[in-house]
Amino acid sequence: MNMKALRKSGVSMIVLALTAGLTFGCSGGGNNGATPAGSAKTAGEATGTQSNAPKERVKLRVEVFDRGNAPDGISITNSQMTQYVQKNFGDPNNIDVEFVPVPRSEEINQLNVLMAAGTAPDVIFTYNTGAAYNWAKQGGLMDLTEVLDQNGPNLKRYLESSLKYGVFEGKQYSIVARRVNLQKYSSFIRQDWLDAVGLPIPTTTEETYETLKAFKEKNLGGKRTIPLGFALAPDSYEPIIWSFIKEQSDEDRYLKSVTIGSREYPILADGHKDGMRFLNKLYQEGLLDPDFALDKDKKKKDENFVNGYTGLYSADTGTTFGGEASVANTLEKNVSGAQIVPFLPWTDFEGKNRQPAYTPSGMHIMVPSFSERAVEAIKYLDWMAQDEVIRYMAFGEEGVHHELVEGYPVRNGSDEDTRLLFNTGDVLIITNGIDFGSIDKNVEFMALGVSDNHREMAKTSRIYADKDAVQQPIQFDKPLDSEAKHSVIMLEKYEELLVKSTMAKPADFDKVYDAALKDFLDTAGNEVIAERTAAYEAMKK
């Protein structure tokens, strides 16, 4: 490089720095168009005009998850799906719908920044209840009560029971989507192993324990036999812990458990310690995977299972079966003669199979307080809540994107299907799963996505997962500060409690458990329980 070139680039750098300096201080703006401030309020108050399209064309910005899985040549912000939305909702209402991608894995970080900068889309959503609480508490969310009443008749009818999950302090800060399938966990046992030890399918915790011992003695999976597949993940510990809980009145669940993320942890309930003691026994007798604490993403648990090392396997319902490459099919391919059967391994003090289930609520859909498009946002969701729209956004057109099988639409897996529906769940945000009217029908429909050989089993496992299932009682009507604040730390401390007491020497169990529990309570637990108690007292009045 000679001096001239250096000077030249130097000059352009100066120009650049100057322009940067000039622009700094001017408002970057321009995100929400040039509508005067406060129009949301006026629009909200203008009753009865909902059928008329606004005169001026406006822009509605809607969040969409970016999972990096768009098919070749399609972008998440401009796909057949977004075009469908524009054509059927946008154009008739004189609205430009713009989709704003938010990376799925960084959604909360990203949304926090966008909210702080005032550049968040008009429609945002998240599964993270803590974040929704935080925003509501700080005044960052719009109260949608009125707007919803005036512009969302369809939406209200469609959501109905899930809407109450979005009411904080009497105000509808969040439109909560529906969840159709509430089953959480399913367990399976190796039928060929049962045959080898000559035992029937166990039906109680005691029988299950004896069966695991028999598996261990015979080393049915070779040197690396793992009678009970286990990971440091809810699908491993929740079914067992909950089967030991003795008190399950709503009051107990309010006062003796904490909510971490969306899960309820019955940390102080009678029986929690017994559950841990049972895990300790299993661990000490070599019945569960000794490296479980390293396996947070459940990869190893699945790997051990498909390689035939595991006797009893539990997983999130619906993840075991599927197409050719499903967990069950891989196992059968890898291990000749392997056969699994769904069953209910754990029984509680009453002999019931009590197990946790999802609440019928999905993600929180919200409008930031600085948005000027609250009315349009609700209109958009209201439009979406029509049967034909839901059907199109979930399944596309018959013959093109799906075929009718036994009367149910089943996506055909063609290129057309993928191109339209690759992110259907991220656009069709008002529901999680499609409701066909009854549990039986929904189970029937879900099973259609499973390869023929496992279809019946898939149905059975879903029906089992519903047996004696209990949902979390409805949350408090007021965000609990401490619970939102400590959610990350509480989960860590809970995992520590679980790992330490499971791995403790039996003689030390009480000491280790009590110390870890105290640590949990001192760090955050006590604060949360105190706030829950106060909130419960207030709610009872």
Partner 1 sequence: MVRRSRFTLADGMIVGVISVCVIACLAPFLHIAAVSLSSSGPITSGKVTLYPVGLSFDAYTRVLSDLAMLRSLGFTVLLTAAFTALAMLMTTMAAYPLSKADLKGRSVFMYVIVFTMFFSGGLIPEYLLIKELNLLDKAAVLVLPGLISPFYMIIMITFFRSTIPASLHEAAEIDGCGKFGILLRIVLPLSLPVLATLSLFYAVGRWNGFRDALFYISNQNLYPLQLKLYQMVMNNLISEVTLAEGAAVKELIPESLKAASIMFATLPILIVYPWLQRYFVSGLTLGSVKG
Partner 2 sequence: MTKVNRNSYFYRNWPYYAMLVLPLAYFITFKYLPIYGVTVAFKEYNVFKGIGASEWVGLDVFKHIFSMESFYTALRNTFLLNGLDLIVGFPAPIVLALLLNEARFALFKRISQTMLYLPHFISWVIIGGMVYQVFATNYGVLNLLFAQVGLGPFPFLSDKNHWLVTYVSVGVWQSAGWGSIIYLAAMTGINRELYEAADVDGASRLRRIWHITLPGIRTTIIVLLILKIGDMADIGFDRPYIIGNVMVREYSDVLSTFIYRIGLQSGQFSNATAVGLFQAVVGLVFILSANYISKKTTDESIL
Residues forming the site for partner 2 (CB under 8 A) = 10, 13-14, 17, 20-21, 24, 108-109, 112, 115-116, 130-131, 134-135, 138-140, 224, 232, 289-291, 293-294, 296, 299-300, 369-370, 484-489, 492, 495-496, 499, 503, 523
Tell me which of partner 1, partner 2, none is bound by residue 294, counting a contact when its beta carbon lies within the kind-specific cut-off of 5 to 8 angstroms: partner 2
Query: Which of residues 165 and 358 has its CB atom nearest to partner 1 in the complex?
Result: 358
The rounded distance, in Å, linking the Cα atoms of 363 and 495 is 25
Window 249 to 278, contacts with partner 1 (CB under 8 A): 262
Question: Which residues touch 485 (CB under 8 Å, ≥6 apart)?
Answer: 524
Query: Which of residues 38 and 73 has its CB atom nearest to partner 1 in the complex?
Result: 73
Tell me which of partner 1, partner 2, none is bound by residue 139, counting a contact when its beta carbon lies within the kind-specific cut-off of 5 to 8 angstroms: partner 2
Strand-pair partners of 172: 167
Tell me which of partner 1, partner 2, none is bound by residue 105, counting a contact when its beta carbon lies within the kind-specific cut-off of 5 to 8 angstroms: partner 1
The rounded distance, in Å, linking the Cα atoms of 501 and 493 is 12
Applying CB under 8 A, the span of 24-32, 36-44, 140-148, 284-292 interacting with partner 1 comes to 24-32
Torsion of Cα atoms, 100 then 168 then 431 then 363, to 10°:
50
The rounded distance, in Å, linking the Cα atoms of 539 and 537 is 5
- The DSSP secondary structure of 351-375, one letter per residue, reads S---EE---SEEEEEE-BTT-S-HH
The answer to whether the CB of 49 falls within 8 A of the CB of 151 is no
Q: Closest distance between partner 1 and the C-beta of residue 487, in Å?
A: 14
Q: Closest distance between partner 2 and the C-beta of residue 238, in Å?
A: 17
The rounded distance, in Å, linking the Cα atoms of 508 and 501 is 9
Applying CB under 8 A, the span of 80-88, 115-123, 205-213, 281-289 interacting with partner 1 comes to 115-123
Tell me which of partner 2, partner 1, none is bound by residue 281, counting a contact when its beta carbon lies within the kind-specific cut-off of 5 to 8 angstroms: none
Q: Closest distance between partner 1 and the C-beta of residue 472, in Å?
A: 13
**Contact call for residue 136 and partner 1 (CB under 8 A):** no
Q: Hey, what are 396's tokens?
A: 């596309």
CA distances from 194 to 214, 296, 310, 333, 434 (A): 9, 29, 12, 19, 37
Window 156 to 195, contacts with partner 1 (CB under 8 A): 179-181
Q: Closest distance between partner 1 and the C-beta of residue 411, in Å?
A: 9
Tell me which of partner 2, partner 1, none is bound by residue 472, counting a contact when its beta carbon lies within the kind-specific cut-off of 5 to 8 angstroms: none
The rounded distance, in Å, linking the Cα atoms of 95 and 513 is 58
The rounded distance, in Å, linking the Cα atoms of 189 and 14 is 71
Window 446 to 505, contacts with partner 1 (CB under 8 A): 446, 449
Applying CB under 8 A, the span of 2-10, 41-49, 150-158, 368-376 interacting with partner 1 comes to 2-10
The rounded distance, in Å, linking the Cα atoms of 89 and 85 is 5
The answer to whether the CB of 347 falls within 8 A of the CB of 218 is no
Tell me which of partner 2, partner 1, none is bound by residue 28, counting a contact when its beta carbon lies within the kind-specific cut-off of 5 to 8 angstroms: partner 1
Window 74 to 93, contacts with partner 1 (CB under 8 A): 75-77
The rounded distance, in Å, linking the Cα atoms of 480 and 532 is 7
Tell me which of partner 2, partner 1, none is bound by residue 495, counting a contact when its beta carbon lies within the kind-specific cut-off of 5 to 8 angstroms: partner 2
Strand-pair partners of 264: 259
Residues 502, 505, 506, 512: is their CA dihedral positive or negative?
negative
Q: Of residues 264, 295, 302, 382, which one binds partner 1 by CB under 8 A?
A: 302
User: Long-range CB contacts (< 8 A, 24+ apart) of 18-22?
Assistant: none
The rounded distance, in Å, linking the Cα atoms of 424 and 410 is 14
Binding mask 32-71 for partner 1 (x = CB under 8 A): ----------------------------------xxxxx-
Q: Closest distance between partner 2 and the C-beta of residue 41, in Å?
A: 17
CA distances from 112 to 115, 138, 278, 483 (A): 5, 12, 41, 18
**Contact call for residue 336 and partner 1 (CB under 8 A):** no
Q: Closest distance between partner 1 and the C-beta of residue 296, in Å?
A: 8
- The residue count for binding partner 1 (CB under 8 A) is 74
**Contact call for residue 104 and partner 1 (CB under 8 A):** yes
The rounded distance, in Å, linking the Cα atoms of 466 and 373 is 40
The rounded distance, in Å, linking the Cα atoms of 137 and 175 is 16
Tell me which of partner 1, partner 2, none is bound by residue 12, counting a contact when its beta carbon lies within the kind-specific cut-off of 5 to 8 angstroms: none
Window 387 to 446, contacts with partner 1 (CB under 8 A): 418, 422-426, 428, 432-434, 446
Q: Closest distance between partner 2 and the C-beta of residue 162, in Å?
A: 24
Applying CB under 8 A, the span of 296-304, 488-496, 504-512, 520-528 interacting with partner 1 comes to 296-304
Q: Roughly what angle, to the nearest 10 degrees, separates helices 509-520 and 481-503? A: 170
Tell me which of partner 2, partner 1, none is bound by residue 488, counting a contact when its beta carbon lies within the kind-specific cut-off of 5 to 8 angstroms: partner 2
Q: Closest distance between partner 1 and the C-beta of residue 380, in Å?
A: 19
The rounded distance, in Å, linking the Cα atoms of 539 and 535 is 6
